[in-house]
């Protein structure tokens, strides 16, 4: 009787360890590490070219480097903020330009987005002179576990392209 009691006492912890070793969250942390978090900051460059100039007219191009950006996500749209943006070397101040409500899809490790007729905001008010007639881009996971942001848009009378990497 005593041997049976001891066998049961030994078997209970062994059975409990079998159930506790199977944790359903083991793979969740690995999968979620590749998700873009809302508020992710990027650093890179913005190239701005007058859409009325020819490709050979370098005087109408301006590059802001370094430039910083922030991406905020919700369920199906993202907001891109061009932080301290300067659209030309003659622009006397740098401003935060917010491009709101951009539809995106996520397939694998790539977020793809596009939009048309978007009015960005500056200081919370519409910035109509820089209305965006065409907007497209993506954010993709790189081999070093950072994200790369690529954007092309026509903003007012400017062709704007952005290339940046996330800041760890």
**What residues make up the domain containing 139?**
36-166
Q: For residues 46 and 26, give the distance between their C-alpha atoms in angstroms, rounded to a whole number.
A: 40
* Domain annotation covers residue 42: yes
pLDDT digits (tens, 9 = 90+) for 108-119: 999 999 999 999
pLDDT digits (tens, 9 = 90+) for 5-43: 455 545 555 455 554 544 444 443 344 446 899 999 999
* Domain annotation covers residue 99: yes
* Domain annotation covers residue 25: no
* Domain annotation covers residue 17: no
Query: How are beta strands 147-155 and 40-50 bridged, if at all?
Result: unpaired
* Domain annotation covers residue 144: yes
Of 158, 67, 166, 80, the closest CA to residue 115 belongs to 80
CA dihedral (137, 139, 140, 141) in degrees, to 10, reads 170
* Domain annotation covers residue 85: yes
Instruction: Determine what percent of the chain is predicted with pLDDT higher than 90.
Output: 63
Least confident of 5-14, 54-63, 156-165: 5-14
Domain count for the chain, please give it: 1
pLDDT at 51: 72
pLDDT at 148: 98
pLDDT digits (tens, 9 = 90+) for 125-139: 999 999 999 999 999
**94-99 CB contacts, 8 Å cutoff, 24+ apart:** 95/122, 95/123, 96/122, 97/121, 97/122, 97/127, 97/130, 98/122, 99/132, 99/135
* Domain annotation covers residue 133: yes
pLDDT at 13: 53
pLDDT at 59: 56
Contacts of 123 (CB under 8 A, 6+ apart): 95
Q: What is the mean pLDDT of residues 128-156?
A: 96
pLDDT at 15: 52
Report the CATH number that the domain containing residue 73 is assigned in CATH: 2.40.128
- Are 111 and 36 a contacting pair, CB within 8 Å? yes
CA of residue 91 relative to chain centroid, distance: 27
pLDDT class for 92, splitting at 50, 70, 90? confident
Residue 4 has, within 13 A of its CA and on its CB side, a CA count of: 1
Q: For residues 66 and 126, give the distance between their C-alpha atoms in angstroms, rounded to a whole number.
A: 26
* Domain annotation covers residue 31: no
């Amino acid at each position: 009787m005593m041997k049976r009691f001891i066998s049961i006492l030994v078997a209970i912890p062994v059975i409990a360890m079998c159930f506790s070793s199977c944790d359903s969250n083991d793979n969740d942390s690995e999968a979620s590490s590749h998700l873009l978090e809302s508020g992710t900051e990027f650093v890179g460059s913005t190239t701005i070219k007058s859409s009325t100039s020819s490709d050979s007219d370098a005087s109408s191009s301006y590059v802001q480097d370094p430039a910083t950006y922030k991406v905020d996500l919700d369920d199906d749209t993202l907001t891109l903020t061009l932080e301290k943006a300067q659209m030309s070397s003659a622009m006397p101040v740098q401003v935060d330009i917010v491009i709101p409500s951009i539809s995106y899809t996520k397939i694998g490790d790539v977020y793809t987005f596009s939009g048309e007729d978007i009015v960005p905001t500056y200081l919370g008010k519409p910035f109509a002179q820089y209305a965006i007639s065409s907007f497209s881009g993506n954010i993709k996971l790189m081999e070093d576990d950072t994200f790369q942001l690529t954007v092309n848009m026509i903003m007012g009378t400017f062709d704007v392209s952005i290339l940046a990497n996330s800041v760890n």
